[in-house]
Chains A and B, each alone.
Chain A
Amino acid sequence: MSVLPVLLRKEFRQIFRNKSILTISLAAPIMQFIVLPLAANYEFKNIDLAVVDNDRSDLSRQMIDRITGSGYFRLVDHSASYAQAYALIESDEADLILQIPSGFERDLVREGREKVFVAVNAINGLKAGVGGAYLTAIIAGFNRSVVLDLMPTAAPAGIAVTSSGLFNPRWNYQIALIPGILAILVTMIGGMLSALNIVKEKETGTIEQINVTPIRKRDFILAKLIPFWLLANVVFTIGLVVAYLIYGIVPQGSLLLLYGFIGVYLLAVLGFGLLVSTYCTTQQQAVFVIFFFLMIFILMGGLFTPLDSMPDWARTATRFNPLTHMIEVMRLVILKASTFRDILPNLLAVAAMAVVLNVWAVLNYRKTS
């Protein structure tokens, strides 16, 4: 007779008795979905701008109006000199300086060309880059309209670029973030809980009692995997429901495919948690080790840092990061309705990780030393 049902009953009793773990696991998706996408926004507003207007003409005023009217910039100062504006950057009151040369209007009207100077505080690289790009775009737009006003017959030749956001028509950052956040959430819950569970048995000494019984390693490990596998699936499902209720996101691809991939992915994550637990003797150690790896997984996962802009070695490394595959598949299936064939490479990679991690964990768990 297999003892697996006996072991499983015990694990489930302990999980359901631990109200704090249960509450956090179930409340986490709801909290993260409400807070994170709203807070983590790459669309910058309120960029603080200092203007050094050396021309003080109608045209320069019009341009400044156009910039402040865009809604992205907040005019913090009409500085008298560049040095004064620079001081504002130093004291962190301004992010950008726009310097308009004297003779701006005259040269523009007479010669049809003029230069403005934009200085950006690049400490917050992302904000600076985006802010600079916005500003350039607005000035370019302004330039076009001025040219049209002055020389209505000379319609501007050139290429007008219009763009369309495929699979996310409104360029909504929240929609791009949600599948990734869900991936991270499932990873954290699965990895953390499975690692802590075995280590807790080591700390309280009950593992010793288990090790003197004829329980087979396989049964013991399975009994640790199955409950957390199910729990993580429940968390994922709650996440999907919440994503629908709050953001109206409906998976475009097959749900079966999604759950099929998650099922394999969770085996890898849980295997990782188990492996960590076989090396740690206290819960404190386990938390630090898991935290260390999760940080790397998340930072290299392609959610907050685009994979395409990584150097080659880093991109190769991300192929060994289970979370990268998970985030990719979530985006592919939820937003892009990708099919089995599309995610097959990811599935194979994650399946290989699941096998390696679990075999390693079972081999490294010793009933006898």
Chain B
Amino acid sequence: MSTTATPHSIVADGLTKRFGDFVAVDAVSFRVNKGEIFGFLGANGAGKTTAIRMLCGLSIPTSGKGTVAGFDVYTQTERIKRNIGYMSQKFSLYEDLSVTENIEFFAGIYGLSRDRIRTKREELIAKLGLVQEADKLVGALPLGWKQKLAFSVAVFHQPQIVFLDEPTGGVDPVTRRQFWDLIYEAADAGITVFVTTHYLDEAEYCDRVSIMVDGRIAALDTPTELKKQFGTGTMDSVFYELARGAKRGGA
């Protein structure tokens, strides 16, 4: 792939999205390195989801520049889609298909061969401990299992980058821990992870963290540096310092 030439998985340069008079994302600029776990934090309504949608090729930016996996966010959205995985806020597997059928479907979409799907599928089901549930409908699984499965499906085709939009919402702490084990595993395999979350303990697991306030990036650094900058011991207070000045949403 031609993308090996650039050291960055994601480049955003003044990326902006307007809806009428409302500037949802206001000239954000950042770079995400290959294999990095990049935390994308912000209060509700700060513009995180809109930013992610632009990077995934679901929404065309109003202005600014951006590339994802080396492809342009204006003109090469379909090529971007070939190289990313995505797991949205809303649970997005088919509830009326079984575990096996969901894996087969999403893997098939990316053109993986049948044999390859079969072997990898067995491995995955065993790893997630879903052997008993393989033929059950996904709708019947507990939320935590669904989320782990959705993540595994999102990285099943080994994309360069995976976008996770609040993947652990509503999940218990133990499952959240297991979920992050899966994220680390994916990052170790060379997949860049771009993750939004409201859990600030999860921010500590990221290599670098950006915090969005009112459509702008208010801070961007490693968790350690950010805490030093704001003279506090927790990401919680860093976030609070930044987000309490927000004019929109209700953090």
Chain A interface (Cβ within 8 Å of chain B)? 1, 3, 6-7, 9-10, 13-14, 17-18, 204-206, 208-209, 211-215, 367-369
Name the prevailing secondary structure of the B interface residues: loop
CB of B38 within 8 Å of the partner chain = no
Instruction: Assess the B96–A14 pair: CB atoms within 8 A.
Output: yes
Interface residues on B, range: 20 to 34
> Would you call B96 and A17 a contact (CB within 8 A)?
yes
- Find B60's partner among A211, A214, A368 (CB 8 Å cutoff): A368
Q: Is B82 an interface residue (CB 8 A)?
A: yes
Cβ of A219 to closest chain B Cβ, rounded Å: 9
B140 at the binding interface (Cβ < 8 Å)? no
A369 and B59 in contact, given A14-B96, A206-B94 (Cβ under 8 angstroms): yes
Q: In the bound complex, what is the Cα–Cα distance between A238 and B77 (angstroms)?
A: 45
* A-B interface pairs (CB < 8 A), number: 71
Contacts of B58 in A (CB 8 A): 208, 211-212, 367-369
Set of chain A residues within 8 Å of B78, measured between Cβ atoms: 214, 367
How far apart are A220's CB and chain B's nearest CB, in angstroms?
Answer: 10
CA distance A14 to B88 in the complex (A): 22
Out of B92, B96, B101, B111, name the residue touching A208 (CB < 8 Å).
B92
Instruction: Determine if B184 is an interface residue (Cβ-Cβ < 8 Å).
Output: no
**B 89-109 binary contact with A (CB < 8 Å = 1; else 0):** 011111111000100111011
Identity of the chain A residue whose Cβ is nearest the Cβ of B95 in the assembled complex: A204
Task: For B52, give the chain A residue with the smallest CB separation.
Answer: A212
Shortest distance from the beta carbon of A33 to any chain B beta carbon, whole Å? 31
Chain B positions within 8 Å of A10 at CB level: 94, 97, 101, 105
Q: Are A18 and B96 in contact (CB under 8 A)?
A: yes
Contact B96 A212 (CB under 8 A): no
Tell me the complex Cα distance, A206–B94, Å.
7
Given the contacts A6-B109, A13-B101, A368-B59, A213 and B81 also touching, CB distance less than 8 Å? yes
- Determine if B56 is an interface residue (Cβ-Cβ < 8 Å): yes
Report the minimum CB–CB distance from B208 to chain A (whole Å).
23
Contact of A209 with B88 in the complex, beta carbons under 8 Å? yes
* CA–CA, A368 and B73, complex, Å: 11
Residue of A nearest to B165 (CB): A208
Say how far B76's CB is from chain A's closest CB, in angstroms.
11
